[in-house]
Amino acid sequence: MEFFKIRRDIPFMRHALVFNLVSLITFLAAVFFLLTRGLHLSVEFTGGTLMEVSYSQPADLNAVRSTVEKLGLNDVLVQNFGTTRDVLIRLPVQKGVSSAQQSEHVMSALKTADAGVTLRRTEFVGPQVGDELATDGLKALASVVIGIMIYLAIRFEWKFAVAAIIANLHDVIIILGFFAFFQWEFSLPVLAAVLAVLGYSVNESVVIFDRIRENFRRYRKMNTMQIIDSSITSTMSRTIITHGCTQLMVLSMLLFGGATLHYFALALTIGILFGIYSSVFVAAAIAMWLGIKREDLIKGGAKKDEDPNDPNAGATV
DSSP string, the chain: --S----S---GGGGHHHHHHHHHHHHHHHHHHHHHT--EE-HHHH-EEEEEEE-SS---HHHHHHHHHTTT--S-EEEEESEEEEEEEEEE--TT--HHHHHHHHHHHHHHH-TT-EEEEEEEE-HHHHHHHHHHHHHHHHHHHHHHHHHHHHHS-HHHHHHHHHHHHHHHHHHHHHHHHHT-EE-HHHHHHHHHHHHHHHHHHHHHHHHHHHHHHH-SSS-HHHHHHHHHHHTHHHHHHHHHHHHHHHHHHHHHSHHHHHHHHHHHHHHHHHHHHIIIIIIHHHHHHTT--HHHH--S--PPP--TT-TTTT---
Report strand pairing: 118-125 vs 48-54.
antiparallel
What is residue 289's predicted lDDT score, i.e. its pLDDT? 93
Q: By the 8 A CB rule, do 129 and 61 touch?
A: no
Query: CA nearest 119: which of 53, 51, 50, 49?
Result: 53
Q: By the 8 A CB rule, do 290 and 178 touch?
A: no
The amino acid at residue 41 is: L
For 210-219, b where at least 16 C-beta lie within 10 A, e where not — what string? ebbbbbbebb
What is residue 130's predicted lDDT score, i.e. its pLDDT? 62
In sequence order, the 6+-apart residues with CB closer than 8 A to the CB of 102 are 49, 91, 94
Give the Cα separation of 47 and 130 in Å (integer): 6
Q: What global pTM score does this model have?
A: 0.78
Domains of the chain (ranges plus CATH)? 12-39+130-297 (1.20.1640.10), 48-125 (3.30.70.3400)
Q: Residue 249 — φ and ψ, nearest 5°?
A: -65, -45
What is residue 226's predicted lDDT score, i.e. its pLDDT? 93
Beta bridge partners of 83: 81
Give the Cα separation of 179 and 41 in Å (integer): 10
Compute CA distances 59 → 64, 81, 86, 254, whole Å.
8, 11, 7, 21
Give the Cα separation of 222 and 216 in Å (integer): 8
Q: Per-10-residue mean pLDDT for the chain, 317 residues long?
A: 74 92 94 92 80 91 90 82 86 82 91 90 73 76 81 82 87 94 89 86 86 88 91 89 90 87 93 89 91 73 49 41
What is residue 304's predicted lDDT score, i.e. its pLDDT? 46
Query: CA nearest 283: which of 231, 209, 197, 221?
Result: 209
